[in-house]
Structure 1
């Protein structure tokens, strides 16, 4: 039998979301039966806790959900994977998700989530993947947890400086920040070790004024060849990813 706190959390999560037209995902959540048999719910049979939660039908092209993410998600104390399929879920990302100390995978892309990325997510000790792309998120990027390997924040309204700590994380394998409104990049380029950085190709993405010396361009070329870093170019053929300064 499912842990009673997890049972209550699933009920509250269910109450805050709705199927969009054509979706029957939540219709199958009948709480007179075992929630561990619900679509998208995976339980640990030994501890009777939810360990994985995928909200919505994951099949390509399937209609998603609408509504808001309920703070009771944080009551799923053994959750390691939380994902939200593309849909119309809106509102804020609950800061209380930082209570999910075992969370490794958090993917909430292609919805209408808005507001800032909670600073509290920086404290998640086990988080390896954070995908919040294709939303309406704004504000700055909080420092990523040191355990992070994949940080995907493209197609939002994020601004400010890209923290140099991102590039200094030796675990980070992919960083996707294209189509945002950053105004400065800090010292992140100095810190690249092995990253995939996708910055897009449009002038509207990462634009900075920096002096592109021959030495700077040589370093960019070296990073691109050794670390598979993709530096975008503006309409004049000049790199638009900057921040090297006087190297």
Structure 2
């Protein structure tokens, strides 16, 4: 009887752990799609977060989650600017060379591809930052690299990212250089205090609501509210600091 209680407690801990990891991972993707795209003046996209049943989580499920986030417990449906259409034959750099000039649609296509890659990276990076903060460890891009994201449910994200990269260049070294640059953009997005406040608020909402689907309207509301609240706090602290300095002077 006592052993059964221990097992039940262990399973409950695993369920809580899985939900927390998932919430921050998907909140990261969502924040990227909404806030990163908005910052880049890209068109808004409708999307939703869909969760799977986690009431019967085993230790193997946690390991499966770490190996492959997609289809394990949650996913973002929609939200991608570019779907890799079959009529795009080869990287866009080849298309540009063939035409002799880079047309506007090719610039737009590259910009959207890069934004999608960044948004895919933001999900596992958000989970990695949450784990680092929970363990009271440093969140550092030298410690959390592209390969390390596989430990934070990023396997399917990385698979998609490399598919996207094939449409940017045929040269392997150039693809790696592009990925390094986009990885740094994604890392800086997650490590930004304002964006992290938004990701954290959405993750908490996901955990507290316990819904199987978080719709677009809910996601946008949580993110925008978090950004507005953060900016008000920064403004208040700046004013408080100014008046404190003025009085002392």
Q: Give TM-score scaled by structure 1 length.
A: 0.25
Which structure carries more strand by proportion?
A: 1
Which structure has the highest helix share of the two?
A: 2
- Greater relative CO, 1 or 2 (CA 8 Å, sep 6+): 2
TM-score by length of 2: 0.25
